[in-house]
Amino acid sequence: NAGVMQNPRHLVRRRGQEARLRCSPVKGHSHVYWYRQLPEEGLKFMVYLQKENIIDESGMPKERFSAEFPKEGPSILRIQQVVRGDSAAYFCASSPGQGQVHYFGSGTRLTVV
Amino acid sequence: GQQVMQIPQYQHVQEGEDFTTYCNSSTTLSNIQWYKQRPGGHPVFLIQLVKSGEVKKQKRLTFQFGEAKKNSSLHITATQTTDVGTYFCAGGGQAGTALIFGKGTTLSVSS
């Protein structure tokens, strides 16, 4: 039983480059959530997706950030033209249904240099 | 919008002392969940409470859900160094919305 798989674990990007973070949910889970965490801070909700649909993106910046969860393949969080302020840990979680228990991946630590 | 407040933000205790973290929501919750994140790790689910006034225990951990389903608490009896980490509460609200996480309480324990 594979849990939520996130890759890469660590990602270094120069300012202006693009960052692509991938998340494969628990098998059978169709609900995926992305959270951002700064050092010694809480989990900030970004976006909630359910297979091919964005359910809630109220926590995601309107510019440079986008997310998708295609019918086949992992969910992708894409950050274009990264800036130093994007440096953070990005966690993905999946659940079998809306609002149910979240299973978190190990996160992607993004560093923008 | 819905908010979940958690206090205290930090707590340091001596090993063997008790610890409590509190969670308060601005709106009535459908359920409350608790997670633990070890330093450098990822959040791990601990428990879910659904019923008004519900109390659940896991060894030295006691979880409560308030009668009005707007607040919750996690109490650890006789803390151990293995309890170190950040404890998050997360509230389930309206249908179609994601869980709202509190900012967490970071517990440190000295032996």
Using alpha carbons, list the distances in angstroms from residue A94 to A5, A90, A107, B80, B104. 10, 14, 13, 30, 20
Number of neighbouring beta carbons within 10 Å of residue A106: 17
pLDDT of residue B95: 65
Using one digit for the tens of pLDDT, what is the confidence trace for A10-52?
A: 999 999 999 999 999 999 999 999 999 988 778 999 999 998 8
User: What's the rounded Cα separation, in Å, for the pair B107 and B32?
Assistant: 20
Decide if pLDDT at B94 tops 80. no
Q: How far is A39 from chain B (nearest CA, A)?
A: 10
Kindly give, in sequence order, each residue whose CB lies less than 8 Å from that of residue B2, ignoring residues fewer than 6 positions away: B25, B26, B27, B91, B93, B94, B97, B100
Mutate to test the interface with B, among A100, A102, A103, A109 (most CBs of B within 10 A): A102
Decide if pLDDT at B81 tops 60. yes
- For residue A104, the chain B residues in CB contact (below 8 A) are 35, 42-44
Q: How far is B98 from chain A (nearest CA, A)?
A: 6
User: What's the rounded Cα separation, in Å, for the pair B7 and B5?
Assistant: 7
Q: Is A101 in contact with B96 (Cβ distance < 8 A)?
A: no
**Mean of the pLDDT values across residues B83-93?**
93
B32 touches chain A (CB under 8 A): no
- CA-based nearest residue to A102, from A14, A25, A46: A25
Using one digit for the tens of pLDDT, what is the confidence trace for B14-51?
A: 999 999 999 999 999 999 999 999 999 999 999 999 99
Q: How far is B57 from chain A (nearest CA, A)?
A: 18
Decide if pLDDT at A1 tops 60. no
B46 touches chain A (CB under 8 A): no
Identify which of B1, B45, B102 has the shortest CB distance to residue A102.
B45
Which tokens hold the place of B2?
A: 């819905």
- What's the maximum distance between 2 C-alpha atoms anywhere in chain B? 45
User: What's the rounded Cα separation, in Å, for the pair B87 and A19?
Assistant: 29
Tell me how far apart the terminal alpha carbons of chain A are, to the nearest angstrom.
36
Looking at chain B, the whole-number percentage of residues with pLDDT higher than 70 is: 96
